Structure formats: structure tokens, C-alpha cells
Structure 1
Amino acid sequence: MERHFGMDWLRIGAFAILILYHVGMVFTPWNFHVKTAQPVEWLSAAMLISNPWRLTLLFVVSGYASRALFAKSDGVRGFFASRTARLLIPLAFGVVAMVPPQTWVELATQHGYGQDFGHFLLFDYFRFTSIDGVGVPTWNHLWFVGYLWTYTAVLALLLLIPRPQTLQHWFDRAFGGWRALVLPALYLVLSQVVIFHRWSDSQDVIHDGVAHLAYFPAFLFGFGLARSRPVMAGLVASWKPAAAIAIASYAFGASLELLYPGNQVPPEWLSTPMLVAHQLQSWSAVAALIGIAERYLNHDAAIRPTLTEAVFPFYLIHQTIIVLVEYWLQPLGLGAGGEFFVLVVATIAGCWAFYLIGREVSWLRPLIGLRRRARPATAPRHDDSPMVAGDTWRRRRDRAQPDPA
């Protein structure tokens, strides 16, 4: 498989938006681990620009990347072992080392918890219970990693089942052309609105079945898309109508958010139209973004490899930085604008520091989701035998030749 730079840029952009989204959560009336004293009610409408589709896009892109990784792996076992190491080790490290400050700040600022962080970490965090309704230990924003590993495990099992050689062809036929936009949108409306009426995720991998009905098919769609020219061509051809549907759906949802700000509840008869608009925006935005990525972004840049590698470490640490910085800012009285500016700058700087330091420390690399560095090649053994000497001379000669590319 050729590397698709457009999908790399989508992944980078999606995680960048996620970081800004979590900064915004500090200021909206929605529940979060730390809240400002100066909420901005209209910000909820702005958050709806990405709220419906950000996770769906991440699962599609993850499925796409999984196909590329599977193509380079030593069979299903090698693929699953590699993904397990790259996902579960950082997840475990995050639950133990990165998430506890978030939970302590939430308990201290919103639930009256009176102990310091050291006491909390040593005596309360690993009690496997709940403190004033907050479960400990927990994974908070790292639930995405747990879901992604679960979907990878199911995918690995599916790949072990004998399957027809024409399975990719069936995918191409099913979702080629306009169907790449229409069929997934109809499926989401049917499964998430008509049948189950889903408003939110529980972020509990065992009891979040309705969310799995949305996210796991998105992951599988990305896996199939990675080898499907007809489906990709259909997304390119339909990105403009997809963008129009996404904008119209957002306008409807944002209007209701502004009409009923904060904790005000819209009339019951608006419940179903709101959910329909949410799901239509969810898929149409993803379809439009993939079409744009294929059409306009499928080219490389010098910074792309670094950003591609940095995305996962950024994701692991960003929310802890946001929560801690806001906790320290609260007594300063900077106002919403000042807090937002400091949060954005501090989060970006902290994420870069976490990545740049972590990538240089060999034992930290797997803990933050990076591959172990290859060991340097052993120096060639000096030998006077004709075969080795001849090979050495040929290697020197070959290195002296100009690169045929």
C-alpha cells in the first residue's frame, strides 16, 4: 500500500481539534473534570462544529491505518501483537500516571475531596470503587485507546476466519459512488436515532453497545476504504454535497443550542430532529473531509513525519495538562479570555515537551506510544578471507555508485 498523506493530515488535524475541544470544555456548561468560574454559554454552539463527527473520523482513520499496518505485518498474529503493544502499554501507563491528577482535581474542585494529591494517589485512587460517584481508577479521555484496542482484537479474530477473495469487491460495490455518503448516514440514523435514540457515550467498553454500533462499523469502513479506489472516488465526487449537508445539520443544532442555552431543555418534539441532524452531520462531515483529503491534501511536507509521530503522545498527555493548568489558573482571576489563551499555549508547549523528551528516552518510548528505536548495527568483523574481503570491496564500490533514483 502507498502511504496516503491526506489521511495522515486528517489524523493530525483531528487530534488538534480534539485538544482545542477539550480546552473549550473548561468553559462550556457541559460536564468536565475542571470548570472555569467564568463559563461562556455561546461556546457550546461553536463546539457543535466538531462534536458530532470528531470521534467517528478518528475511528475511520484508525481503521484505514490498521489496513496499512496489517499489510506490513507478519500475519494476523504479528499485526495483533504489534497493535497490542502500541495501544495497551500506553493505556496502562496513562491510567497509572497521567489520569490520576485529572481525577484528583475533579474530586477536589467539584466533590469536596479534602486530601492532597499524594494521599489520593497512595490510598484512594487504586481502591477500585467510587468516591462521591467518581469511579477510581479510571481512564477518562483514554477510553478511545481502550475502544480502539477492542476493535482491533475483534478485527484480528475476523481476519482469522476464512473469507471470500471477493470481500473487498463486495465492499467496493456496496459503497462505491454516491453510496459512500448515503448508506452510512442512513445506517447511523436508523441505529442511533430510530432504534436506540442515543444521546451520548458511556465510555464503558462493556456497557456501551449502542456506541459500538456506530464506532466499530466506522473502524471497519476505514479498513475497507484503504484498498478501495471506487469508494474513495465516490467520496471525492460527493465532498461538496456532503459538506453542504454537514453545514446545514450544524446550523440546525447550533440554532437550538443558542435558543436553549446552558441547562435549558428543548421541547420533547425536537428531540428526534436534533438527533437526526447530529448523525447526518457526523457522517457527512467525515465523508467531506476524506474527499477533501484525497483531492487536496495527499502530498507530503517536511513536518509531517514529526507531527504524525507526535500525535499519539500529544493525545495521551493533553487533557492532564489542561486540567492541571486550569486548576492553577482558577485563583488568579484572569477571566475567560485570559484563561483560554494561557490554556492553549500551555497545553501546546506541554505536549511538545512531553513528546520531545519522551522520544529521546529509550524506556519511555513504548510508554508514550512510540516504537522502540532499532539497535545500531554491529560493526562488521574484520576477516582476511577472500569472500569477506571481496564482499567488503563490493559494498564500498556500491556505496560509491550514484543513487539510480
Structure 2
Amino acid sequence: MADRKRHYGMDWLRIGAFALLILYHIGMYFVPWGWHVKSDPTIDWVAIPMLATNSWRLPLLFLVSGYASAALFAKLGGAGAFVRSRSARLLIPLLFGVIAVISPQPWVELAGQHGYAQNFGHFWFNDYFRFGTLDGIILPTWQHLWFVVYLWVYTLIAALVIALVPGEARVQIADRAARLLGGRGLHVVPLALWLAIYAAFPTHRETHALVDDGPTHLHYLMPFAIGWLLRVRPILFAAVARQWRVALGIGLAAYGAVAAIEWHYPGAAPMPQAAHIAFAVARRAQGWATIVALIGIADAYWDRDHPWRAMLAEAVFPFYIVHQTIIVVFGWWLLQGQVAALPAFLILVAATVVGCWAFYLGGRRIGWLRPLIGLQRRA
């Protein structure tokens, strides 16, 4: 595999993507889409800024994860070592999160939306570990940590391909894929794949349940694979450098179409079939074009180190593990107190920032706790 220096721009892209994800989940408290806890009343127009990132935030996370996974494989040098490292780094905090971090989220949802009358202590000891459903909610649950589960599965697929496909064949496949994406194919091929998935499964909605989410896996495996390819064929950054400004224009135009359709059919307003199709196509065009543009910006302007970079890059995973529980719990308290939208938003931002930093800074100092919150053991 080709090797290269660390690309700091991809680090910053990963940090920024997770920061946007946290802000997006704060927005979920206000927007009229289903979620664990909702403001009363919800606010229709919040959907429009939310849709600015909705189509690309998760594919971008899978892309930068694919890039990081390829870098780790190059460092470890073998499929077995790669799987062991990824499994320890992902599954240990996943198990800890399901047991110790996630549980307030389904309790809040059950109490607020399903009339569950028991306190949290009773819920955790008597209902959370039922390994079944309670009023339609599967317990225990991984909630937002589905991303960790899917990422682990995708790394297993990558390791299996590496183990089964001879090295010469892998080189040829990577070379051909890089040539395919080297020009306008960078825009056309990934978007065509996304549109083909939508055309084949137009009614599918993400379940995050792993086993019944095939079209979603196809949707996310593509950016994961392209992220891996970016690492092993860094010549693709030259193609991105030539194309990212065009991609930025496409992304902004497509978002304009998405926002216009949402404005005309806000919230749960019925939408004609033609508008549904236009919305779905525009979202996918916006999503992939924005990803190309962000990679280009990261490569052109962010490929430099900073004293905060290493700490922020390390903090990303602990932040991700805990952030949604903080938002849901504080959202529940704000809902009980009937706090207005603007102060509620400011409180949620402040509480989430403080809570995430406390979780990370407190956990990183305790040796046995580090792997549980997604940090490497100290040497």
C-alpha cells in the first residue's frame, strides 16, 4: 500500500464532522421529526438549517473513518492485527455505552412519549435489560452508537477482503478505482451509485438495527471505501483539488432545491410524489458534492498541525459516546420546566459542551476507564 505523511486536514475534517453531529443532535430537540425528547411546540423552520448537513454528515463520518482505518491497517500491517485493534477500540466502549451511558435515553422517551410511570432506577434495574421490547422500544439499545456497530462491521468487511483477495489483485482494483474517480467520475460515479440504491429501495428508511438495514449499508459502505481509497491512493487528492470548487457549487444549488421543497411542504405536510423524488435526488446530489468540496477545502487549507489538534482528535470519540445522553436528559428537564426555545438552545449547547469535556477530561486520567470511553491504554 502507498504510504504518506499524516494528513492533518483529514483530522480536522473528522473533528469538524463530529462537532456538527453534536450540534445537529441539539437541533433534533426542536425540529418536528421524531426523536427521544421534543420541545413543545416544535419549530418547523428549524428543519431548513438542519437539512444543510442532513445529507452528508454521516457519509462524511464514514469516509473519514475509512481513511483512518486504512492508515491504521498500513501501520499494523496485517488483517488479524487490524481486526483485533479495531474490535478492542470499538466494541469495548460500545458495550460500556450500552450499559452505563445510553440507558437514560430510552427512559426519557418512554416517560415522555409512552406514559411510562416508573423512575429511572426502577427502569434500569427491572426493564432496561429485558432483551425484548417495551411499548415498541427495543431494550437494551445502542441508540446513537449504531454508528460504532456499523463501522466495526465495515472494518471486518475490509479485513475480509484483504485476507481473501491476493495483493496483486488488490493493487489492480485500487488503481482502476482511482482512475475511475480521477476526473468527472469523482462527481458522477458515487452519486450514480447512491441514486441506484434509492431507485432500487425507494421506500426504505434507516433502522440502525444492523440486520434489516441493507440499503443503508450500501449507502454508507461507498463513502467508507472511498475514504480507504483516498489513503491508499493519495493521488485522488489531486482530482479533488481540481473538482472541489465545482462540487461546492453543485452542493449549494442542490441544497437550495432541498430547502425550497421543505419550505413549501414543512413538517408533516403531505408532499406530491414528484416532490418526493426531487427531494431525494437533490439531497443525494447535495450530500456527495458537499463531501467532495469539504475534502478539497481540508486538503487545500487545513493540512497543517496545531497544538490543539491531537487533543481534539482524541476527544472526538468520548464526546460522541456521551453527547446524546446529555442532550436528551437536559432536554427532558427543559421540557418539564417549559423553557422557551432560545434559552433552551443556549442551555443545551452549554450543558453538552461542559458535559462532554468533563466526560473526556475526567476519563482520560483514569487508566482503567480510558478504553471504556474510547481512548487507547496508556503505554
TM-score above 0.5, yes or no: yes
CA separation of 1:307 and 1:198: change in aligned 2, threshold 3 A:
farther
Matches within 5 A, 1:258-297: 258-297=263-302
Identify unmatched segments of 5+ residues in structure 1.
375-405
Matches within 5 A, 1:135-146: 135-146=138-149
The answer to whether the 8 Å contact 2:30/2:42 transfers is yes
The answer to whether the 8 Å contact 2:130/2:139 transfers is yes
Structure-1 residue corresponding to 2:154: 151
Output the CA distance in 1 between the equivalents of 2:217 and 2:83.
20
- Answer with 182-191 or 50-59: which moved more: 182-191
Give the TM-score, by structure 2 length: 0.96
Once the 2 structures are TM-superposed, how far is the Cα of residue 38 of structure 1 from its aligned partner? 3.1
Output the CA distance in 2 between the equivalents of 1:95 and 1:160.
31
For residue 238 of structure 1, give the secondary structure of its aligned residue in structure 2.
helix
The answer to whether the 8 Å contact 2:261/2:275 transfers is no
Output the CA distance in 1 between the equivalents of 2:318 and 2:278.
38
C-alpha offsets along residues 56-83 of structure 1, whole Å, 9 cap, x if unaligned? 0000100000111001114111111000
Once the 2 structures are TM-superposed, how far is the Cα of residue 36 of structure 1 from its aligned partner? 1.0
C-alpha offsets along residues 263-303 of structure 1, whole Å, 9 cap, x if unaligned? 11211221211111111111111111001111111111110
Output the CA distance in 2 between the equivalents of 1:331 and 1:99.
21
For residue 48 of structure 1, give the secondary structure of its aligned residue in structure 2.
helix
Output the CA distance in 1 between the equivalents of 2:105 and 2:147.
17
For residue 257 of structure 2, give the secondary structure of its aligned residue in structure 1.
helix
C-alpha offsets along residues 137-192 of structure 1, whole Å, 9 cap, x if unaligned? 11110000000000011111111012423333222212112211221111111222
Matches within 5 A, 1:184-263: 184-192=190-198, 194-197=199-202, 200-263=205-268
The answer to whether the 8 Å contact 1:38/1:335 transfers is no
C-alpha offsets along residues 232-281 of structure 1, whole Å, 9 cap, x if unaligned? 11111111111111111111111111111121121122121111111111
Output the CA distance in 1 between the equivalents of 2:75 and 2:309.
20
| Pick aligned residue for 2:178 from 164, 172, 175 | 172
- Answer with 314-323 or 66-75: which moved more: 66-75
CA separation of 1:135 and 1:195: change in aligned 2, threshold 3 A:
same
Structure-1 residue corresponding to 2:87: 84
C-alpha offsets along residues 172-220 of structure 1, whole Å, 9 cap, x if unaligned? 212112211221111111222x222156311111100001111112111
The answer to whether the 8 Å contact 2:330/2:351 transfers is yes
Give the TM-score, by structure 1 length: 0.90
Output the CA distance in 1 between the equivalents of 2:271 and 2:122.
43
The answer to whether the 8 Å contact 1:178/1:235 transfers is no
Structure-2 residue corresponding to 1:102: 105
Matches within 5 A, 1:5-404: 5-161=8-164, 162-163=166-167, 164=169, 165-192=171-198, 194-197=199-202, 200-374=205-379
- Answer with 356-365 or 252-261: which moved more: 252-261
The answer to whether the 8 Å contact 1:325/1:343 transfers is yes
Aligned-pair Cα RMSD in Å: 1.1
Output the CA distance in 1 between the equivalents of 2:270 and 2:138.
27
The residue type equivalent to 1:73 in the other structure is L
Output the CA distance in 1 between the equivalents of 2:223 and 2:205.
17
CA separation of 1:198 and 1:237: change in aligned 2, threshold 3 A:
farther
The residue type equivalent to 2:355 in the other structure is G
Please say which structure displays the higher CA radius of gyration. Answer: 1
For residue 248 of structure 1, give the secondary structure of its aligned residue in structure 2.
helix
For residue 42 of structure 1, give the secondary structure of its aligned residue in structure 2.
helix
Output the CA distance in 2 between the equivalents of 1:62 and 1:272.
30
Once the 2 structures are TM-superposed, how far is the Cα of residue 230 of structure 1 from its aligned partner? 3.1
Question: How many residue pairs are counted as aligned between the two chains?
Answer: 373
For residue 166 of structure 1, give the secondary structure of its aligned residue in structure 2.
helix
- Answer with 106-115 or 123-132: which moved more: 123-132
